[in-house]
Amino acid sequence: MKIGKIVYILAILLLIAGFIQPVAAAENETADAGTSFYNAGIQLLNSNEYQRAIELFNKALASDTTMIRQSDALLYTYQGKSYALIQLEKYNDAIQTIDEGLVFYPKDFFLWNNKGYSFFKLDNYTEALKSYDMAISIDQNYTGALINKGDTLYKMGRYQGAVDSYIRANEINPGNSYAAAGLEKAQRALAAGTPPTTAPSQTIIPTTLPANTQSTLTQTIVPTANPANTQSPLSPLPVVAALSLMGILSVVLMKKR
């Protein structure tokens, strides 16, 4: 192949690359909308601005979720939105959001735990117990769900079951103050045979990054999603280089004539 033809082909390839780059960048910008909404929602969630966080999580879910699904941010979106709804005491809405998340993540024990918490706050102890059992079946060492199950059984007057659940939680996490307090209370009720007056506080851990078990609604920080395959800033250099090569080639060919 003659050198002139090789140069000409290279010039064409550079020209094509120059036109493809802005198209790829435009597609990436559109796909990244879900990530932007998610990250903004997490920031608001961490600032306790729950209603605004919910609005942004809704926008993330309404966007192209391809990228946030790749980084597990889609899971965190459902967890974060349901957590915010729980904080606003919108328990039915939280259950609906959790159910939507469970369609994609049926084995996420945190979602199941928070679903149980929402049912508990609605005084639906039977459904709460089912949700906690699901969480424990997925992770048998999940202390938060074991403590919550004990709380629920205590409220239902099933003291022996509550004792067993607290003991299991204490075996996994020795020295856990909430498990110890629940166990003491359940053992007293079991010995006295009296009905419960008030239920112990419930535990909620909304993300996959739990800290210590808490007796109140406790928020943990979720990492933001970093967009994958981000496009670098647009550059005119490929087009300029291609046109320059084509110009040089034209001059060379004219001289040969």
pLDDT in tens, 206-253: 443 322 222 323 333 343 333 332 222 333 444 444 445 555 445 444
196 — pLDDT class (breaks 50, 70, 90) = low
Q: Which of 18-22, 188-192, 207-211 is most confident?
A: 188-192
User: Exposed (0-12), middle (13-18) or buried (19+): which is 194, by Cβ within 10 Å?
Assistant: exposed
Note the pLDDT of residue 219: 33
Asked whether 169 and 140 are in contact (CB, 8 A), the reply is no
Per-range mean pLDDT, top range of 13-27, 168-182, 203-217, 243-257? 168-182
Helix (H, G, I), strand (E, B) or coil at 32: coil
Rounded to an integer, the average pLDDT of 173-194 is 92
Measured in degrees and rounded to the nearest 5, phi and psi for residue 217 equal: -60, 115
Identify the pLDDT of residue 71.
85
CATH topology of domain 33-229: 1.25.40
Residue pLDDT, tens place only, 150-167: 999 999 999 999 999 999
Which residues lie below 8 Å from residue 162, measured CB to CB, with a gap of 6+? 150, 151, 153, 154, 182, 186
Q: Is the pLDDT of residue 97 over 80?
A: yes
Mean pLDDT, range 103-107, rounded to an integer: 97
- Distance between CA 130 and CA 116 in Å, rounded? 7
pTM over 0.75: no
Tokens, residue 14: 């550079």
Given pLDDT bands bounded at 50, 70 and 90, which one contains residue 36?
A: very high
Residue 116 near residue 131, CB atoms below 8 Å:
yes
Written as six digits, the tokens of 33 are: 């909308």
Residue 73 has pLDDT above 70, yes or no: yes
Residue whose C-alpha is closest to residue 218's, from 234, 232, 231, 207: 207
How many other CB atoms are found less than 10 A from the CB of residue 88?
A: 13
Distance CA(102)–CA(74), nearest Å, equals: 11
DSSP letter (8 states) at residue 204: B
Mean pLDDT of the chain, nearest integer: 76
Go through the chain and tell me how many residues it has. Answer: 257
Q: CA dihedral defined by 174, 216, 48, 53, rounded to 10 degrees?
A: 90
Q: Which residue has the higher pLDDT, 141 or 198?
A: 141
Q: 45-68, pLDDT tens digit by residue?
A: 999 999 999 999 999 999 988 889
Alpha-carbon distance 112 to 131, whole Å?
A: 5
Amino acid occupying residue 208: T
Q: What is the pLDDT of residue 66?
A: 87
| Gap between the Cα atoms of 240 and 257, Å rounded | 26
Domain ranges in the chain are 33-229
